[in-house]
Amino acid sequence: DAIKEPRGFIRILQLIFVICAFATTCNFSGDIKIDAKCLDNRTVSANIPVFYPFSISNATNVVPICAPTKPMFGDYAASAQFFVFVGVISFLYCVAMLLLYTVLRNHYDSDDRIKKADFLSSSFVVLLWFLASIVWASGVDQLKRYTSEQVLQKELCGEANDCHVETLQTYAGLNISLVFGFANIALWASSLWFLWKETPWFQGNSNDLLEDSAVPAVDGAPL
């Protein structure tokens, strides 16, 4: 029954959206391929993997391709890991609250402190998703710019006679992760209304309004 109520049903949706958000981020992978003919007529090939947490700078000593002396530039791990961290925390919170709504429903219904904590914690999660999505959107944009063919050609090829760079084929997985990130903001924010209605703050205001709206009868007693 609790699952059919708005608060329980929304938790199920949140659980699905949260999993999709961090799963699409963690499962993304691609390769940067480079083939070059150096000034000394050597032919050099390299394959640079790009995957979570997107620390491209870990690919040491590949720049420039013919005389590698330094790592690639670009470390987007902080924004990616923060996004995934918020997703994992949200997943655990959804599971805990679903157990509380179902298995321990009597405790939830009888303890106003739990209802208040649920509302306040969910409000904090909304803030986390907002920050994580904004930061990750910036990280994805920077990653796209850095792994563009023009930038890679300039950084990797150096003074090679003939150089061909094949960049990432698609960023669909990262774009989808951003969609789920911003969808989580809307979903978690919309759930606050149903959680607010469960708190004594809302119920107290409702009771006050009912008392104020009582119409006195002729003898002074409320109708």
Question: Is 138 a member of any domain?
Answer: yes
Judged by DSSP in three states, 1 sits in coil
Question: Is 223 a member of any domain?
Answer: no
Question: Is 219 a member of any domain?
Answer: no
**pLDDT tens track for 12-49:** 999 999 999 999 999 999 888 888 888 888 888 888 88
Q: CA 180, 183, 185, 190 torsion: positive or negative?
A: negative
CA distance 141 to 27: 18
Question: Is 125 a member of any domain?
Answer: yes
Contact 191, 7 (CB under 8 A): yes
Contact 163, 114 (CB under 8 A): no
CATH classification at residue 23: 1.20.140
Q: Which domain holds residue 156?
A: 6-212
The structure's pTM equals: 0.82
pLDDT at 181: 97
Contacts of residue 20, defined as CB under 8 A and 6 or more positions apart, other chains included, come to 176, 180
Binned at pLDDT 50, 70 and 90, residue 3 comes out as confident
Question: Is 217 a member of any domain?
Answer: no
> How many domains is the chain built from?
1
Res 98 pLDDT > 60: yes
